[in-house]
């Protein structure tokens, strides 16, 4: 049995090459039992590769990893006993009904027929697929397939769960449902490693976050730590009159000593500041100039801004690319 | 919901014949899929019938020399049976390759099941397709006037032999299906394998009518011995020697290609 009950997943120096592409370039990670690790990164960062190695689908070229205390290469059959895996692309059998898909997995796991059926019904219900349960999966929408795939990875009550972009392509309602399910699983003690393109998702679910870029870990920590790591806070001012944007920008620039960015679309002036000391000055000057504002705030940077600071390129274009990909 | 421990749940504790149960479950999956897509049975229903009628009526008169297609039928039917069953093993490789491309096998490979189970499941599931092809052709043969001249028992034994041969030969396709990147690739290589196996044999004509180099090939070709066995059992003739050679080939095919296929399955990413 496992010697380490505190650490569910640990990896050291994972390397995976595809020809001349280095998908993973020395990744270390540790996930304590019962916690959620969120892996963020742009397309091609190596997230899926890492999940496939930890899920025993792929052998690393170098480095090693243990899951539940078992080596993912040498003790792969043991690892498979305790993991559940939902890959980036749904791996359901399109030529069978959703219910049969789940029953089949129960049977493969050695559950008796009646228990397999009960389990399938429970999971169909939890993922709101009961009505569609007897329909052939080919007729499911993309989001329904993803939910079925998620259900399939839960049939065996895994104690460690990998979710590769579990909510990509889901509508907001279904996404909330998946989030709730993940939270409940974690309450029950399940360890979760999830990859996502949505910074918001990692922020909402993860105890700690890793940012991958080009096969390397470029940042890690708790969501709040990461935000702090990106450094500066941001001072935002939104004038009541969009016509006052330029005057507000001038006032802020003078008070802070840095030229702010002016977002004309959102009628927002924002400037990075190291602390809150310039805030009262800005308030006084605005008051003297008789300019009304609808918003004046000092905030930590959003994860999007963190992402930009850490990887040197914006996360936004990546999420857009994914949304486009999902809608095709 | 589950407990938080990393214990293996009791229901999953290793059972001695787990691999067999898992293979049967996956065979069941393939059969369900066939029921769902009956049109996928075209290669084991319409195709063999077309082949039978084509050879019987178009070439029959010419090949049978002075005779008519009636004289050719007893000779041809065991041959066409072998040919169509051999051809339908190709479908096993193509289907496996497509399954892999769709990601269903990612699911299987992340489950704690025996490595051979998905492969044995695919092969056993396809036994249904091979059986369909045998039943269809025998029915057509009987309607056209074919009879088991050597007894019904021997006739059925012949059907069993060809089924077992298909189940052995299909490991070649399982291996190729896992080894090649695309289903088109699998189909592309089919002609390289199928034509020498079927046309370079005694399926349609007596091998003595063939040129020398082809005759030497037919003497190695397992299909020749299988067809001899079939004819011996169905309409009479020497059975023992061709049957032994056929059985040896079957054992050889499984011994070589099943391990290769399992290795390819493990390596495939
Ligand atoms: N089977 C493969 N053959 C060749 N290259 C591959 C293969 N799988 C992944 N790669 C390459 O490895 C790199 C990492 O890919 P990976 O799928 O792990 O990225 P990802 O972070 O999951 O990206 P995404 O957000 O698009 O899912 C990419 O450059 C990709 O092109
Ligand atoms: Mg990916």
Token couple for A266: 């959102």
Residue B83 reports pLDDT greater than 60: yes
Q: Is residue A304 part of a domain?
A: no
For residues A62 and A2, the model is more confident at: A62
Residue B269 reports pLDDT greater than 80: no
Q: For A47-71, what is the mean pLDDT?
A: 95
Task: Provide the pLDDT for residue A316.
Answer: 43
Looking at the structure of chain A, the number of domains it has is 2
Instruction: Tell me if A22 CB under 6 Å of ligand 1.
Output: no
Compute φ and ψ for A36, nearest 5 degrees: -115, 125
Task: Provide the pLDDT for residue A248.
Answer: 93
Residue that terminates a domain, selected from A228, A247, A268 = A228
Beta bridge partners of A36: A192
Task: Provide the pLDDT for residue A3.
Answer: 45
Residue A198 reports pLDDT greater than 60: yes
> Are A82 and B108 an interchain contact pair (Cβ–Cβ within 8 Å)?
no
Residue that terminates a domain, selected from A210, A228, A246 = A228
d(CA A73, CA A57): 9
**Stretch among A223-227, A230-234, B70-74 having the lowest mean pLDDT:** A230-234
Return the number of CB contacts < 8 Å for A and B: 114
Which residues, other chains included, contact B117 with Cβ-Cβ below 8 Å and sequence gap of 6+? A108, B19, B22, B23, B25, B26, B108
Residue B60 reports pLDDT greater than 90: no
Task: Provide the pLDDT for residue B138.
Answer: 95
Rounded to 5°, the CA angle A222-A194-A327 comes to: 120
Closest approach atom of ligand 1 to CA A46: 18
Task: Say if residue A242 is in the same domain as residue A107.
Answer: no
Q: Is residue B12 part of a domain?
A: no
Task: Provide the pLDDT for residue A320.
Answer: 38
Closest approach atom of ligand 1 to CA A42: 25
Compute φ and ψ for B187, nearest 5 degrees: -65, -35
Q: For A193-199, what is the mean pLDDT?
A: 88
Question: Is the CB of residue B168 less than 8 Å from the CB of residue B127?
Answer: no
**Stretch among A85-89, A162-166, A269-273, A301-305 having the lowest mean pLDDT:** A301-305
What CATH number should be reported for the domain holding residue A275?
3.30.70
Nearest to A301 by CA among A274, A264, A321: A274
User: Which residue's CA is minimally distant from atom 2 of ligand 1?
Assistant: A18
Q: For A282-301, what is the mean pLDDT?
A: 88
Burial class (CB in 10 A: 0-12, 13-18, 19+), A161: buried
pLDDT level of residue B235 (50, 70, 90 thresholds): very high
Question: Is the CB of residue A142 less than 8 Å from the CB of residue A326?
Answer: yes
pLDDT level of residue A313 (50, 70, 90 thresholds): low
Tokens 């309450």 locate to: A187
3-state secondary structure chain B: CCCCCCCCCHHHCCCCCHHHHHHHHHHHHHHHHHHHCHHHHHHHCHHHHHHHHHHHHHHHHHHCCCCCHHHHHHHHHHHHHHHHHHHHHHHHHHHHHHHHHHCHHHHHHCCCCCCCHHHHHHHHHHHHHHHHHHHHHHHHHHHHCCCCCCCHHHHHHHHHHHHHHHHHHHHHHHHHHHHCCCHHHHHHHHHHHHHHHHHCCCCCCCHHHCCHHHHHHHHHCHHHHHHHHHHHHHHCCCCHHHHHHHHHHHHHHHHHHHHHHHHHHHHCC
Q: How much is the mean pLDDT over chain B?
A: 87
Q: Is residue A322 part of a domain?
A: no
pLDDT level of residue B7 (50, 70, 90 thresholds): very low
Residue A328 reports pLDDT greater than 70: no
pLDDT level of residue A237 (50, 70, 90 thresholds): very high
d(CA A245, CA A243): 6
Give the rounded percent of residues in chain A with a pLDDT score beyond 90.
Answer: 59
Question: Is the CB of residue B155 less than 8 Å from the CB of residue B102?
Answer: no
Q: Is residue B165 part of a domain?
A: yes
CA distance B124 to chain A (A): 16
Chain A residues 80-99 within an 8 A CB cutoff of chain B: 80-85, 87, 89-96
Residue that terminates a domain, selected from A177, A206, A228 = A228
Task: Provide the pLDDT for residue A153.
Answer: 95
Q: Is residue A309 part of a domain?
A: no
> Are A115 and B22 an interchain contact pair (Cβ–Cβ within 8 Å)?
no
Task: Say if residue A118 is in the same domain as residue A265.
Answer: no
Pairing of strands A208-213, A216-221: antiparallel
User: Which residue's CA is minimally distant from atom 17 of ligand 1?
Assistant: A48
Task: Provide the pLDDT for residue B267.
Answer: 81
Q: Is residue A152 part of a domain?
A: yes
Q: Is residue B243 part of a domain?
A: yes
Looking at the structure of chain B, the number of domains it has is 1
Residue B265 reports pLDDT greater than 70: yes
Task: Say if residue A99 is in the same domain as residue A28.
Answer: yes
Question: Is the CB of residue A99 less than 8 Å from the CB of residue A116?
Answer: no
- Ligand 1 centre distance from Cα of residue A273 (Å): 38
Select from B8, B36, B113 the Cβ nearest to the Cβ of A96. B36
Q: How much is the mean pLDDT over chain A?
A: 87
Task: Say if residue A69 is in the same domain as residue A205.
Answer: yes
Q: For B174-203, what is the mean pLDDT?
A: 87
Residue B178 reports pLDDT greater than 80: yes
Task: Say if residue A285 is in the same domain as residue A173.
Answer: no
Helix (H, G, I), strand (E, B) or coil at A168: coil
- Ligand 2 centre distance from Cα of residue A211 (Å): 13
Edge-to-edge strand order for the sheet containing A70-71?
A21-32, A7-18, A62-67, A70-71
Tokens 């791996």 locate to: A91
Token couple for A285: 């000057």
Task: Say if residue A261 is in the same domain as residue A153.
Answer: no
DSSP assignment of A241-258 equals SGGGHHHHHHHHHHHHSS
Task: Provide the pLDDT for residue B243.
Answer: 95
- Taking only the tens place, the pLDDT of each residue in A74-97 is 999 999 999 999 998 888 998 899
Q: Is residue B257 part of a domain?
A: yes
Find the residue in B nearest to A69 (Cα): B6
> Are B8 and A56 an interchain contact pair (Cβ–Cβ within 8 Å)?
no
Task: Say if residue A279 is in the same domain as residue A245.
Answer: yes
Task: Say if residue A222 is in the same domain as residue A243.
Answer: no
Q: Is residue A326 part of a domain?
A: no
Nearest to A198 by CA among A169, A177, A225: A169
Question: Is the CB of residue B269 less than 8 Å from the CB of residue A57?
Answer: yes
- Taking only the tens place, the pLDDT of each residue in A205-231 is 999 999 999 999 988 888 877 776 665
Chain B residues touching A111 at Cβ < 8 A: 11
Residue B9 reports pLDDT greater than 60: no
Long-range contacts of B53-62 (CB under 8 A, 24+ apart): B55/B80, B55/B204, B56/B144, B59/B204
What CATH number should be reported for the domain holding residue A111?
3.40.50.300
Task: Say if residue A277 is in the same domain as residue A181.
Answer: no
> Are B29 and A93 an interchain contact pair (Cβ–Cβ within 8 Å)?
yes
Chain A residues 273-292 within an 8 A CB cutoff of chain B: none
Task: Provide the pLDDT for residue A314.
Answer: 54
In angstroms, how far is CA A120 from the centroid of its own chain? 27
Residues in chain A: 328
Q: Is residue A328 part of a domain?
A: no
User: Which residue's CA is minimally distant from atom 26 of ligand 1?
Assistant: A43
Find the residue in B nearest to A49 (Cα): B269
| Enclosing domain of residue A277 | 232-299
Edge-to-edge strand order for the sheet containing A160-164?
A83-86, A160-164, A191-196, A36-40, A208-213, A216-221
CA distance A109 to chain B (A): 6
Residue B64 reports pLDDT greater than 70: no
Question: Is the CB of residue B202 less than 8 Å from the CB of residue B221?
Answer: no
Q: For B32-55, what is the mean pLDDT?
A: 87
Q: Is residue B112 part of a domain?
A: yes
Q: For A160-169, what is the mean pLDDT?
A: 92
Instruction: Tell me if A21 CB under 6 Å of ligand 1.
Output: yes
Question: Is the CB of residue A204 less than 8 Å from the CB of residue A179?
Answer: yes
> A181 touching B, CB under 8 A?
no
- Taking only the tens place, the pLDDT of each residue in B133-155 is 999 999 999 999 999 998 999 99
> A34 touching B, CB under 8 A?
yes
> Are B21 and A89 an interchain contact pair (Cβ–Cβ within 8 Å)?
no
Q: Is residue A321 part of a domain?
A: no
In angstroms, how far is CA B269 from the centroid of its own chain? 27
| Enclosing domain of residue B189 | 18-268
Q: Which residues have CB less than 5 Å away from ligand 2 (the ion)?
A: A 47-48, 88
Residue B12 reports pLDDT greater than 80: no
Q: For B122-127, what is the mean pLDDT?
A: 93
Token couple for A112: 């008796």
Task: Say if residue A110 is in the same domain as residue A202.
Answer: yes
**Is the dihedral angle over the CA atoms A125, A127, A132, A138 positive or is it negative?**
negative
Q: Is residue A96 part of a domain?
A: yes
Token couple for A96: 């069978």
Of all ligands present, the nearest one to the C-alpha of A45 is: 1
Q: For A104-130, what is the mean pLDDT?
A: 95
ipTM: 0.82
């Amino acid at each position: 049995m496992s010697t380490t009950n505190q650490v569910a997943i640990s990896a050291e120096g994972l390397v995976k090459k595809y020809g001349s592409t280095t998908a993973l370039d020395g990744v270390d990670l540790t996930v304590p039992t019962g916690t959620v690790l969120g892996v963020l990164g742009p397309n091609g960062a190596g997230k899926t590769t890492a999940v496939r190695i930890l899920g025993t689908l792929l052998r690393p070229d170098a480095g090693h990893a243990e899951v539940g205390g078992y080596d993912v290469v040498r003790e792969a059959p043991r690892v498979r006993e305790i993991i559940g895996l939902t890959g980036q692309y749904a791996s359901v059998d399109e030529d069978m009904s959703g219910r049969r898909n789940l029953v089949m997995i129960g049977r493969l796991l050695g559950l008796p027929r009646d228990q397999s059926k009960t389990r399938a019904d429970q999971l169909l219900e939890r993922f709101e697929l009961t009505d569609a349960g007897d329909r052939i999966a080919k007729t499911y929408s993309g989001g329904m397939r993803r939910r079925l795939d998620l259900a399939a990875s839960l049939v065996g009550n895994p104690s460690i769960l990998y979710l590769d972009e579990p909510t990509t392509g889901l509508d907001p309602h279904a996404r909330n449902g998946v989030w709730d399910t993940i939270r409940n699983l974690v309450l029950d003690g399940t360890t979760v490693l999830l990859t996502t393109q949505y910074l918001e998702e990692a922020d909402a679910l993860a105890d700690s976050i890793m940012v991958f870029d080009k096969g390397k870990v470029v940042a890690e920590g708790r969501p709040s730590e990461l935000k702090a790591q990106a450094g500066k806070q941001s001072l935002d001012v939104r004038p009541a009159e969009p016509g006052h944007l330029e005057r507000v920008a001038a006032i802020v620039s003078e008070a802070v000593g840095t030229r702010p960015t002016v977002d004309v679309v959102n009628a927002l002036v924002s400037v990075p500041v190291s602390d809150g000391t310039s805030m009262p000055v800005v308030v006084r000057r605005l008051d003297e100039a008789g300019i009304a504002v609808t918003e004046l705030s000092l905030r930590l940077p959003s994860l999007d801004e963190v992402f930009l600071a850490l990887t040197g390129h914006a996360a936004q274009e990546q999420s857009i690319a994914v949304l486009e990909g999902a809608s095709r | 919901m589950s407990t938080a421990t990393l214990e293996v749940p009791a229901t999953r504790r290793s059972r001695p014949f787990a691999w067999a149960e898992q293979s049967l479950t996956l065979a069941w999956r393939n059969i369900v899929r066939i029921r769902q897509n009956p049109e996928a049975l075209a290669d084991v229903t319409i195709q063999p019938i077309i082949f039978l009628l084509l050879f019987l009526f178009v070439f029959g008169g010419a090949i049978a020399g002075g005779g008519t297609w009636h004289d050719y039928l007893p000779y041809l039917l065991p041959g066409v049976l072998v040919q169509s069953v051999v051809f339908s093993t190709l479908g096993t490789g193509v289907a496996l390759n497509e399954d892999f491309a769709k990601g269903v096998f990612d699911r299987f490979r992340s489950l704690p099941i025996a490595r051979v189970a998905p492969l044995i499941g695919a092969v056993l599931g396809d036994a249904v397709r091979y059986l369909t092809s045998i039943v269809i052709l025998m029915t057509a043969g009987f309607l056209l006037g074919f009879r088991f001249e050597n007894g019904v028992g021997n006739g059925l034994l012949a059907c069993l032999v060809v089924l077992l041969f298909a189940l052995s030969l299909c490991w070649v396709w399982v291996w190729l299906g896992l080894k090649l990147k695309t289903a088109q690739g699998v189909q592309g290589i089919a002609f390289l394998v199928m034509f020498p196996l079927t046309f370079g044999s005694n399926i349609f004509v007596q091998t003595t009518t063939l040129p020398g180099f082809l005759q030497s090939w037919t003497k190695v070709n397992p299909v020749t011995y299988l067809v001899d066995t079939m004819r011996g059992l169905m309409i009479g003739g020497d059975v023992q020697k061709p049957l032994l050679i056929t059985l040896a080939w079957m054992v050889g095919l499984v011994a070589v290609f099943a391990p290769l296929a399992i290795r390819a399955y493990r390596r495939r990413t």
